[in-house]
Structures are given as structure tokens and as C-alpha cells.
Amino acid sequence: MDTEQKTGFYGDFGGSFVSPELQVVLEHLEKAFERYQDDQEFQEELAYYFKHYVGRPSPLYYAARLSEQLGGAKIYIKREDLNHTGSHKINNVIGQALLARRMGVERVIAETGAGQHGVATATACALFGMDCTVYMGEEDIRRQALNVFRMELLGAQVISVTKGTRRLKDAVDEAFTDLLANYKHTYYMLGSAVGPHPFPLIVRHFQSIIGREARQQILEQEGKLPSYIIACVGGGSNAIGLFHPFYQDQGVKMIGVEPAGKGLATGQHAAPLSVGKPGLLHGFKCYVVQTESGEPMPTHSIAAGLDYPGVGPEHSFYKASGRAEYVAVTDEEALEAFKLLSQVEGIIPALESAHAVAQAVRLAPSLSQDEIIIVNLSGRGDKDAQLVFEMRQKAGEVAAKA
Ligand SMILES: *Cc1c(COP(=O)(O)O)cnc(C)c1O
């Protein structure tokens, strides 16, 4: 059984609520995806780049010291941080770039908030010699100067969006406007399992390599399936990539971890599945962090990649149906996990991924030693070292030791 029921819908969530003009473009994309997803040559090409360029399969690593210290379940870490460019985002952009090539398209556009998806897109375009344009809010450009430089170094053109709040939402609007005008020769590369159909399906398809590998690896290493699989949830692509291949395994519990920011009660978070309500965002139905009158609320997370008021439709469905559980972890708890994993395992996690680690830290001690937890480490933390350093400097910790 697939979790997509009626085309593009997961229970009551998903769909494609866009203008008729854009609908035509999305149907064109859907047809191309249907044609190539099971095409043998396409699959072989994808497998080639996953292996030789991304460095797959990523290891499933038994975190012996962390497990011992917590004193409960065995914790395994799926090392997406070891992929080329340092996160799971590369899986999706390689897949979509190959799809764009099959569609005969030479120009790729994308939008980016913190810059991580923009850098991934620029990487894939450099690899395949495609023209790359990235829309980014003026405000985000100012805050993420180094990522803007990375994109330009990789040959992309970064366009500053000066409309509205000059943030991600405005960049998304500009990207869709560009797509409408230029779809015959332009591919819009979406970065997470969100947006109107067929994007959530396409992104899940390419990210499912995470769960397929992890399932096989744990069977090889332990001879049984895990009790829990845990991943952080921004838009939800690394989590759905891990979860979906375990969907039929009813004994495997899935936990998605949202950012509680400064605390769910403060309103400064980005946790739609924990405290949001169903609504419409960027052309699809999902849980949304919204005001009384239904406007998306400003969000906050210490992890830029988790800072989004909505969430993928398939996670919305997993929550509504009870197949997965969603919890929230604060900035502070994520920082603790960031330090813990660095010190106990020698692995500096991305702040996004540290949210998933924090949930494993909460859960493991309550489980027995023959139970297994798999945590998806969506990315490495080098990108966050400076931020954490500056925070500690402000707090006086670093200065006092120096
Ligand atoms: C972008 C990002 C995320 C959040 O995106 P999802 O689509 O929810 O996976 C998580 N971790 C890292 C390292 C990221 O770069």
C-alpha cells in the first residue's frame, strides 16, 4: 500500500491548490516523474551518482558510548552527515537534477531561506553543467553572506527578493512567478517534502534511500528491526525519507521531532504538528502554526533549517492517523545534545539533527538494552560551530576559560 491515497492526497492533507496556469505546469512535472521514477536507466544513473558522488550508502553507526552513558536502548546513528556537502539535502537535488535533464531542461531555479538548499541546488547544477538561479530574501542574504558566497562560487546566480518581509515566503512567491513564465525550459527544484503535488511525492521518492538503507543495515547488523526511528522535522524530508520504508513495519514506532524554540508556551517556535492547526500554505494542506485569524505565524528555531510554519502533508497525515508521534525539543535541549554527541562520540551534529539526538537522549534510558533506536543524523554541525561559539561568548563561557 502507498500512503498517497487519492492523487496527491495523504488523508485530508496535501493536494495542489494553485492557479490553473500553474496546475498545468505541475501536471507536466507529474507526468515526467511518473515516466522516469521506475525507468531502469534513470535508476542506474541515480545509483551511480549516489555511490560515486554522494558517497552512499551512508553508514549506520552503533553509538556504543552514547548508549552506555544513557543506560538503556542501543542507539544507532544513520550518518547522513557524511554525505558530500554534509547533509541529506544532496539526495534530493541529485535526483531532481537528473529528472530535469530527462525533461530536457537546462535552467534550474530554487528558493532558499538559510541558504542550505540553495547551496545543495548550486552543487547539483555545477555537477551537471546546468544554469542555476536561486531566489533569496534580502533579509536572509544579509544574514547568510557565507552561503551566498558558496552559491556564487558554485556558479549560481543569487537574486535578492526585496518584496514583502524579504524572507523565505517572498522568495517562494518569486520562484513560482519565474516558473510560470519560463516553465518550458525551467525546472523548479523544491528543497523539502512540502509544496503542491507532486513535489512532496518526488522529494520523498529521492530521500527514501535513507530508510531503505537503514532498514537493510539494521537487519544485517542486529538481525531485527528497531523499536524506534527518530528524525527532526522542518519541512519533513529527512524524516519522511527515513520513515516511509518502515511504514508497513507496525512494530517500528516513528517519532518526528519539531523545534520548540524558546518553548511552546512562548509562541517562539516552529512546531506545527505539536501546536498548529490544519490550514493551507504555499498551495497545499498541512498543519500550520497560525494566528486566530488563520495567518501563518512568525516562527523561531535555533536551527535555521527547521524554521518553517508548515510541514509536509504526509507527516500531517501520519500525525492525524497516529502512525507517527511528533514531539518538540527546545533550543536549549538541542544545544545540550549538540555538546553531548560531540563529546561522547566525536560527532558534531547539525543543530537541526541535534533535535533528533535530544529525543533519543530522553527516550533511551526508559527502554531495555535489547531495544534499538535509530536516529537520523541529517547533517554535520560545522556550519553551526560559529553560531554556538558566539552564543557561548555572549554568555561569558568562552571568555572565562580563555
Ligand atoms: C534543511 C535541513 C533539515 C530540515 O529539512 P527537512 O526537509 O525537514 O529534512 C534538517 N537537517 C539539516 C541538516 C538540514 O540541512
pLDDT of residue 5: 65
Kindly state the percentage of the chain with pLDDT values over 70: 98
The tally of domains found in the chain comes to 2
Residue 283 forms part of a structural domain: yes
Mean pLDDT of 106-120: 95
What is the per-residue pLDDT across 314-358, written as a single tens digit (0 to 9) for each?
999 999 999 999 999 999 999 999 999 999 999 999 999 999 999
Residue 9 forms part of a structural domain: no
Residue 400 forms part of a structural domain: no
> Looking at 35-87, which runs of residues are DSSP E strands?
60-62, 74-79
pLDDT of residue 170: 87
Q: Is residue 184 located within the same domain as residue 303?
A: no
What is the per-residue pLDDT across 160-197, written as a single tens digit (0 to 9) for each?
999 988 888 889 999 999 999 999 999 999 999 999 99
- Tabulate helix, strand, coil % of the chain (nearest 5): 50, 20, 30
Question: Does residue 112 contact residue 191 with C-beta atoms inside 8 Å?
Answer: yes
In this structure, which long-range contacts are made by residues 181-188, counting pairs with CB atoms below 8 Å and at least 24 apart in sequence?
A: 182/107, 182/109, 183/25, 183/28, 185/105, 185/106, 185/107, 186/105, 186/107, 186/108, 186/109, 187/96, 187/99, 187/100, 187/103, 187/105, 187/107, 187/108, 187/109, 188/108, 188/109, 188/110
Instruction: Tell me the angle at which helices 351-363 and 382-394 cross, rounded to the nearest 10 degrees.
Output: 80
In whole angstroms, what is the distance from residue 390 CA to residue 380 CA?
A: 18
- Output the domain CATH number for residue 311: 3.40.50.1100
What is the per-residue pLDDT across 271-300, written as a single tens digit (0 to 9) for each?
999 999 999 999 999 999 998 888 888 899
Q: Is residue 76 located within the same domain as residue 168?
A: no
In whole angstroms, what is the distance from residue 32 CA to residue 18 CA?
A: 19
CA dihedral over 8, 9, 13, 16, signed as positive or negative? positive
Q: Is residue 65 located within the same domain as residue 131?
A: no
pLDDT of residue 280: 94
Task: Looking at the CA of residue 352, tell me the nearest atom of ligand 1.
Answer: 11
Confidence of residue 23 (pLDDT cuts 50, 70, 90): very high
Q: Which three cell numbers stand for residue 301?
A: 528555531
Mean pLDDT of 23-47: 97
pLDDT of residue 120: 97
Q: Is residue 181 located within the same domain as residue 41?
A: yes
Domain boundary among 156, 186, 203: 203
Q: In terms of residue numbers, what domain contains 372?
A: 56-86+208-394
pLDDT of 402 > 90? The answer is no
Q: Is 272 in the pocket of ligand 1 (CB under 6 A)?
A: no
Residue 380 forms part of a structural domain: yes
pLDDT of residue 266: 94
How many other C-beta atoms can be found within 10 angstroms of the C-beta atom of residue 382? 11
Confidence of residue 21 (pLDDT cuts 50, 70, 90): very high
pLDDT of residue 41: 97
Confidence of residue 239 (pLDDT cuts 50, 70, 90): very high
Q: Is residue 44 located within the same domain as residue 69?
A: no
Q: Is residue 171 located within the same domain as residue 285?
A: no
In whole angstroms, what is the distance from residue 177 CA to residue 186 CA?
A: 12
pLDDT of 236 > 90? The answer is yes
Domain boundary among 203, 227, 247: 203
Strand partners, 157: 133
Q: Is residue 331 located within the same domain as residue 219?
A: yes
Q: pTM of the entire structure?
A: 0.96
Tell me the best of 119, 203, 238 to mutate to test the pocket of ligand 1, counting ligand atoms within 8 Å of each CB and taking the most. 238
pLDDT of 2 > 80? The answer is no
Q: Is residue 80 located within the same domain as residue 197?
A: no
Q: Is 352 in the pocket of ligand 1 (CB under 6 A)?
A: yes
Pairing of strands 13-14, 9-10: antiparallel
Confidence of residue 210 (pLDDT cuts 50, 70, 90): very high
Phi, psi of 301 (to 5 degrees): -150, 150
Residue nearest to atom 13 of ligand 1 (CA): 379
Residue nearest to atom 5 of ligand 1 (CA): 234
Q: What is the mean pLDDT of the chain?
A: 95
In whole angstroms, what is the distance from residue 355 CA to residue 80 CA?
A: 15
Q: Is residue 326 located within the same domain as residue 378?
A: yes
Tell me the best of 111, 207, 237 to mutate to test the pocket of ligand 1, counting ligand atoms within 8 Å of each CB and taking the most. 237
Q: Which three cell numbers stand for residue 152?
A: 556564487
Pairing of strands 13-14, 131-137: unpaired
Q: Is residue 288 located within the same domain as residue 313?
A: yes
Characterize 123-152 residue by residue with b for buried, 16 or more Cβ atoms within 10 angstroms of its Cβ, and e for exposed: bbbebbebebbbbbbebbbeebeebbebbe
Confidence of residue 399 (pLDDT cuts 50, 70, 90): low
pLDDT of 91 > 80? The answer is yes
Mean pLDDT of 346-374: 98
pLDDT of residue 164: 85
Most confident segment among 157-161, 292-296, 398-402: 157-161
